[in-house]
Amino acid sequence: MFYAQISIGRALRRRYFDNRFPEVLAVINAAISAGNSIHQALHRCGDGVDGELGAVFKRIDRRLNLGEEPERVFKDAWLEYRYREFYFFVIVMLVSLQRGGQLRVLVGRLSRIITNSKNMARRKAAMTSEARMSAKNRRRHSAAVFMRHEVFQPGEFRFHY
């Protein structure tokens, strides 16, 4: 029961992240394209994205404005969302803060890669759905046959040692 609650909570959190993170990338890309700095883009994310993810970006913006080390700030944020996409985002932001560079291009590429990855996962799930359903039905059928024999012919399943 406890394990089920944890796994459902993790699945809901992952679904929330998957739904909100492309919005974060779009807000950052729009802010950078408009000529704003990284700090202003992060501030817009904190204000524009609602929920937990928006609060994380508000925290990132506030801590960076207070002068904390970007590595520590983004590492703490990554510890809240330990997902591959967020890790790549953190790396892009750290590289851009430390060395400068074309943040708009990098965030655009990251957004495109994430979108392509989701589309590929959907395609894969669609192509394997028939095989998965067949395996589930086969498993259910085997269990039903075993239970039917257990009920109607109980002597057949008594094992003698």
Q: Does the residue 141 lie in any domain?
A: no
- Predicted pLDDT at 14: 92
Higher pLDDT, 65 or 115: 65
CATH label of the domain that carries residue 13: 1.20.81
Is the pLDDT score of 160 beyond 70? no
Structural domain of 101: 2-123
- Predicted pLDDT at 141: 78
The C-alpha atoms of residue 105 and residue 141 are separated, in whole angstroms, by 53
Q: Does the residue 43 lie in any domain?
A: yes
Q: Does the residue 74 lie in any domain?
A: yes
Q: Does the residue 132 lie in any domain?
A: no
> Does the reported pTM lie above 0.75?
no
Counting the structural domains of the chain, the total is 1
% of the chain exceeding 70 in pLDDT: 94
Give the ranges where 34-152 is alpha helix by DSSP (H): 38-48, 52-65, 70-80, 84-99, 103-152
Is the pLDDT score of 34 beyond 80? yes
- Predicted pLDDT at 11: 93
Residue 111 · residue 46 · CB < 8 Å:
no
Residue 22 · residue 110 · CB < 8 Å:
no
- The overall longest dimension of the chain from CA atoms, in Å, is 81
Q: What is the pLDDT of residues 81-135, one digit of tens each?
A: 999 999 999 999 998 888 877 788 888 888 888 888 888 888 887 778 777 788 7
Q: Does the residue 56 lie in any domain?
A: yes
Q: Does the residue 49 lie in any domain?
A: yes
Residue 29 · residue 107 · CB < 8 Å:
yes
- Predicted pLDDT at 3: 86
Q: Does the residue 68 lie in any domain?
A: yes
Q: Does the residue 161 lie in any domain?
A: no
Out of 15-19, 116-120, 136-140, give the one with best mean pLDDT. 15-19
The C-alpha atoms of residue 77 and residue 152 are separated, in whole angstroms, by 59
Q: What is the mean pLDDT of residues 44-61?
A: 92
